[in-house]
Amino acid sequence: MTIKLLLADDHTMVRRGLQVFLSTQTDLELIGEASTGQETLEKVAVLQPDVVLMDINMPGINGIEATKQIKLLHAQVKVIILTSFSDQDHVLPALRSGAKGYLLKDIEPEDLARAIRRVYEGKVELHPEIAGHLVNQYAEPDQTAYPPTDDSISELTKREQDVLRLIAAGKSNRSIAEELFITEKTVKTHVSHVLSKLGMSDRTQAAIYALKHGLDK
């Protein structure tokens, strides 16, 4: 299985860097590039990519409006916003426009590849900082909704609870590893166990759950 990608970014250096990295991924194929929103729409119509990596700040039609039009005209095409903007003025409109991912350009290459695969599979991918913003805005601890004695929490080890607390704080795997003095690979294992034990599919759900249980302290 090969995932067909279209890269939309008005910075040539960004496109070239991503082109080099994506060429190392055997299951990811870069089938086209665009430097404006209008060009992106035209190439989506012709090339029919599986996933579009979309910058927000582009000449003419911006990435958010382009995403909205893509979802209206080509519902099967999935869009991942890849940008340097992390503020809510950009994040919320982008997600409302139909984007299935919102990532920042400081993301590690292997994490980007993983996010592309997950979005292609129908999942939503958010940069940890973005997930943290959304959690802080929308989630309020509610002890009546999730009692502190919930059996799911008791199934977590002390280290898994530490990892969950840092996920709720919007920390990346690398930051969690540095704070807990463990390897990033070990963090990924703990995250997988946390999601499995809580019966959740992504970090955002886990972060909101942690906040409601007061585990973000």
Helical axes 12-22 vs 109-120, angle rounded to 10°? 80
Number of structural domains, the chain? 2
| pLDDT interval class at 49 (50, 70, 90) | very high
Is residue 26 domain-shared with residue 93, that is, in the same domain?
yes
Question: pTM for the complete prediction?
Answer: 0.66
- Domain for residue 113, yes or no? yes
Structure-token pair, residue 205: 């759900």
pLDDT of residue 163: 93
pLDDT of residue 126: 86
145-157 per-position pLDDT tens digit:
444 345 577 889 9
Is residue 66 domain-shared with residue 104, that is, in the same domain?
yes
- Domain for residue 174, yes or no? yes
pLDDT at 192 over 60: yes
Percent of the chain with pLDDT over 70: 88
- Domain for residue 51, yes or no? yes
96-153 per-position pLDDT tens digit:
899 999 999 988 899 999 999 999 998 888 887 777 666 665 554 444 444 434 557 7
Q: Compute the CA torsion angle 42, 45, 47, 53 (nearest 10 deg).
A: 70
Of the candidates 128, 118, 143, 50, which has an alpha carbon nearest to the alpha carbon of residue 91?
128
Percent of the chain with pLDDT over 90: 59
- Domain for residue 104, yes or no? yes
Of residues 172 and 179, more confidence is placed in 179
User: What is the per-residue burial (b if ≥16 Cβ within 10 Å, else e) of 142-163?
Assistant: eeeebeeeeeebeebeeebbbb
Average pLDDT, the chain: 86
| pLDDT interval class at 8 (50, 70, 90) | very high
- Domain for residue 7, yes or no? yes
- Domain for residue 99, yes or no? yes
Is residue 11 domain-shared with residue 72, that is, in the same domain?
yes
Is residue 7 domain-shared with residue 83, that is, in the same domain?
yes
Residues 6+ away with beta carbon under 8 Å from 18: 7, 9, 30, 53
Of residues 125 and 56, more confidence is placed in 56
pLDDT at 95 over 90: no
Average pLDDT estimate for 83-101: 86
Average pLDDT estimate for 156-170: 88
- Domain for residue 151, yes or no? no
Is residue 72 domain-shared with residue 111, that is, in the same domain?
yes
Domain that holds residue 79: 3-138
pLDDT at 178 over 50: yes
Query: How far, CA to CA in Å, does 156 sit from each of 5, 153, 165, 208, 213?
Result: 38, 5, 12, 16, 13
Is residue 105 domain-shared with residue 185, that is, in the same domain?
no
16-38 per-position pLDDT tens digit:
999 999 999 999 999 999 999 99
